[in-house]
Amino acid sequence: MKSIFIFCKKAAYAVLPIFVLGIMGTTHLRAQTLFTIGNLYYQINADSISATLVGPVDATEVGGELSIPTTIIYNGKDYPVTRIGKNAFISSGGLTGSLTIPNTVVSIGENAFLACSGLTELHLGNALDTIGPAAFYGCKGFTGSLTIPNSVRVIETAAFYGCTGFDGALTIGDGLTRIESAAFYKCRGFSSLNLSDAVTTIGTSAFWGCSGLSGSLTIPNSVTIIEPNAFRNCSGFTGTLTFGSALVSIGGETFRNCSGFTEVISLATVPPTFSFEDVFEGFNCTTLTVPCGCIAAYENSEWHDYFTTIIDDCNSVPELDEQKATVYPNPTNGTLKIEAENMESISIYIMLGEKLFEVPSSGDVFEYDFSPHEVGIYLVRIQTEKGIVTKRVVVKGR
């Protein structure tokens, strides 16, 4: 238990080294060729066709609304502004009003708007690819909803740490596959969370302390791993917690003190494993609904430590032929044959959730050699055009 606490504190305070490194980065940046337009510094990027907004000429005079241009003119040539630099407006508390990131910007650097608590609205452009570490750390003045555009592929550690003013929905776009550690740590104002079907991993402490989140929470079928403390102290949820069919592993204390959920449903036919203890500590709901025919599997797993009543739902299950898949020989000490109609991909996991192997697959038959792996239990995740099937495979000694 102690190791989990230390690990999560490291995630929560990850911004500290980010801040220090960021300040060092500013010194290096200022040594390069900069030019001014109005009261802002710019720099031509290495591609020679675009520019970075580096920051204000005099940080002490930054105030009011910030207008970030889509293009600038330098030496008679137009340059689109594609990046907002590291530490660009760090601690510019005088900035007020709405912040709009133009559609030309693809990257927001680390600490770019750290502690800019006077900003009241945030609009992200539809070309944005990366939101850097601690980019909006401590921006407590933002209100309303936040939509992460489909273009965003990366939200780094602590990007929105402590942004407590948001009071609407948080919607994650289709481009993001991993939500990094502490990305929305203690963002207490969000009222609901909408995760896209592209997300596969929810990082450590990603939503810790987002106590304003209410209603139900659905973990999409795409998610395979939820890391420790991801939803810890999210006490505002009052509806159904649904785990998707592809979930393999849940980290320690992930739903600790999430006492408001009234119903829990797991769609995974193989019970997801718990990588550490106290996953549902302080959880009031004790009834779990599982797929048809899976009661025994869950009763013989760690889930039964938290859910004393386990029932199955045989009314909403699709026809078995739609999800039919076969793996053999099982147990195996060598080649495993996987058969399913119209396979799209195959993934192999150890029981703690670590992915060992993933490959696109076409056709109805696939073979995987387990002989290099240690003896133990593995999970085979089979994606077909009709859905996801997870099979438990035992690898034995020779």
What integer pLDDT is reported at residue 316 of this predicted model? 57
pLDDT digits 0-9 by tens, 136-194: 999 999 999 999 999 999 999 999 999 999 999 999 999 999 999 999 999 999 999 99
What is the percent of the chain where pLDDT is above 70?
Answer: 89
Tokens for 277, please give them. Answer: 């203890």
SS3 12: helix
pLDDT of the residue at 32? 53
pLDDT for the residue 314: 77
User: So what's the pLDDT on residue 322?
Assistant: 44
* Angle, alpha carbons 79-83-86 (nearest 5°): 135
Does residue 80 surpass a pLDDT of 80?
yes
The yes-or-no verdict on residue 263 having pLDDT over 70 is: yes
Which of residues 18 and 360 earns the better pLDDT score? 360
Q: What is the pLDDT of residue 351?
A: 65
- Residue 3 pLDDT: 37
pLDDT at 325: 85
Contacts of 203 (CB under 8 A, 6+ apart): 11, 178, 179, 180, 181, 182, 183, 227, 230
Residue range 373-398: mean pLDDT, rounded: 83
CA quadruple 332, 333, 335, 338: dihedral, nearest 10: 20
Between 9 and 369, name the one with better pLDDT: 369
Task: Please check the confidence at residue 6 and state whether its pLDDT lies above 90.
Answer: no
Q: What domains can be seen in the chain, in order of their start residue?
A: 2-313 (3.80.10.10), 320-395 (2.60.40.3080)
- Please tell me the predicted confidence (pLDDT) of residue 370: 92
pLDDT above 80 for 28 = no
Instruction: For residue range 219-242, list pLDDT tens digits in order.
Output: 999 999 999 999 999 999 999 999
Whether 311 has a pLDDT exceeding 60, the answer reads yes
Using pLDDT thresholds of 50, 70 and 90, give the confidence band for residue 333. confident
Q: Which pLDDT does position 106 carry in this prediction? A: 98
The least confident of 130-139, 204-213, 224-233, 283-292 is: 283-292
- pLDDT given at position 1: 37
Residue 59: per-residue pLDDT:
78
Alpha carbon distances (Å) from 341 to 302, 349, 357? 32, 21, 20
> pLDDT higher for 350 or 263?
263
Give the per-residue pLDDT at 352. Answer: 60
Instruction: Retrieve residue 319's tokens.
Output: 């026809």
Per-residue pLDDT at 380: 87
* Long-range contacts, 45-53 (Cβ 8 Å, 24+): 45/82, 45/83, 49/79, 49/80, 50/79, 50/80, 50/81, 50/82, 50/83, 51/79, 51/80, 51/81, 51/82, 51/83, 52/81, 52/82, 52/83, 52/84, 52/85, 53/81, 53/83, 53/84, 53/85, 53/88
pLDDT greater than 70 at residue 206: yes
Lowest mean pLDDT among 52-66, 163-177, 251-265, 309-323: 309-323
Give the residue, 261 or 8, on which the prediction is more confident.
261
Say which range, 29-33, 93-97, 301-305, 380-384, has the weakest mean pLDDT: 29-33
pLDDT for res 14: 38
The residues near 287 (Cβ < 8 Å, ≥ 6 apart) are 263, 264, 307, 308, 309, 310, 311
In this predicted model, what pLDDT tens digit does every residue of 105-123 receive, in sequence order? 999 999 999 999 999 999 9
